[in-house]
Amino acid sequence: MNDPSAHILRDYGNFLRDSRRRSAHTIRAYLVAAERLTDFLRQHWGENADAKRIEQITSTDIRSYLAMRRGEGLTNRSTARELSAIKAFLRYILGEDAALPVMRAPKIHSTLPRPLSPEDAVNLADDIAKSAVKDWTGARDWAVLLILYGCGLRISEATGLLGSILPLDDSIRVTGKRGKTRIIPIIAPVREAIEHYLALCPYPPAPNKPLFRGARGGALSPAIIRRAVQGARKRLGLPDNATPHALRHSFATHLLAGGADLRSLQELLGHASLSSTQVYTAVDTAMLLDEYENAHPRA
């Protein structure tokens, strides 16, 4: 490799994986952003963007890069994500304690998570199960969606479960972002759905094999579940926010409405900070106000 930035990107990828323990998805996103930046700087400066040259980067350089990206159609939210990735890359180059060039993120109007009602969540899972070509894949999809709603897992966490969680008890150990593990209670309907799927699945479970299998026996792709949800959403006339991740939002919102405290909810969701969990208090309040306006005779 004659391009010095190629060495930087390779080492940066190893750093994200080994030292920061980032997920494969995050590593790809950060490396793509870093590669875009180094390619731009090479043209912008008219010379190689090696580590020593990148150490001299200025706020003007970054503004020029972001202007180029905005010209390609980047939204405020996407620009903010790109800026976050750039900061992570520059901290790697300059050092954690080094002062970074001033980078102002665009304003983003915060949006609340949009959960589904319990009825819509169950109807969604039921429609997908009944629309499946084979009984065992229908049982699988039902179990996956029920574990998203009943346990609050991310879809990648659900499809990443291994047969080592068997036999099922009252809880499972889940590995989430940055390799962190947490213990999640399993309610009876979720346990029964998984056991029904296993009884029909043509591929026997094994501790080191995926719990949820694809048609050929490999790991179930999250994209298959997303496509199934998209089809069911259209058939049922549900809004665009009826996604697999909305089931996780529903889990959190309904638990909070039922009296769960924020700290317990934070642990169940695997949030690194309480601020990520606190957004559900606003969701719960918004839902109560909506119910009030619809039901109160003087509203």
The Cα 242–Cα 119 span in angstroms is 12
The 10 Å CB-count burial string (b at 16+, else e) for 217-239 is eeebebebbeebbeebbeeeebe
Q: Tokens 């080492």 sit at which residue?
A: 11
Indicate if 53 belongs to the active site: no
Indicate if 248 belongs to the active site: yes
Catalytic residue among 177, 196, 209, 226: 177
What count of other Cβ atoms lies within 10 Å of the Cβ of residue 93? 18
The distance in angstroms from the start CA to the end CA of the chain is 69
The Cα 9–Cα 201 span in angstroms is 42
Indicate if 81 belongs to the active site: no
Q: Tokens 């996956």 sit at which residue?
A: 144
Catalytic residue among 22, 69, 140, 154: 154
Catalytic residue among 22, 182, 213, 271: 271
Indicate if 92 belongs to the active site: no
Catalytic residue among 22, 213, 248, 249: 248
Catalytic positions, written as ranges: 154, 177, 245, 248, 271, 280
